Amino acid sequence: MAKELTQVELKRLARLGAQARLEQLDAERRAILRAFPGLSLAVAREGQAGPAAGAAPKKKARKRRKMTAAEKKAVSERMKKFWAARKQKA
């Protein structure tokens, strides 16, 4: 009958398997970068090779300019009028 493994042995073997898989992936990554040298620049710039095939590209965060104190005051007054009018209707 087969010997059952303890938790410690299972974890050790899982770790060895994970380490071997990471080495395989690293070797595959190096081979891809050798085949496509331009990708290494994109990887360095973005921190990754880009979205996976079929995945939607990430949307860039919209840059907003800061409102001046006068603009904030104008918005505040408009909103006060808006809510006052809405209260009157109700």
The model's pLDDT over 26-85, given as tens digits with 9 standing for 90+, comes to: 999 999 988 988 887 766 666 554 555 556 677 888 888 899 999 999 999 999 999 999
pLDDT at residue 1, rounded to an integer: 46
Axis crossing angle, helix 7-35 with helix 38-46, rounded to the nearest 10: 130
Distances (CA, A) of 13 to 9, 17, 20, 49, 88: 6, 6, 11, 30, 72
Regarding pTM above 0.75, the answer is no
pLDDT at residue 46, rounded to an integer: 62
Q: Please, which pLDDT band fits residue 90 given cuts at 50, 70 and 90?
A: confident
Domain boundaries, the chain: 8-49
87 or 55: which leads in pLDDT: 87
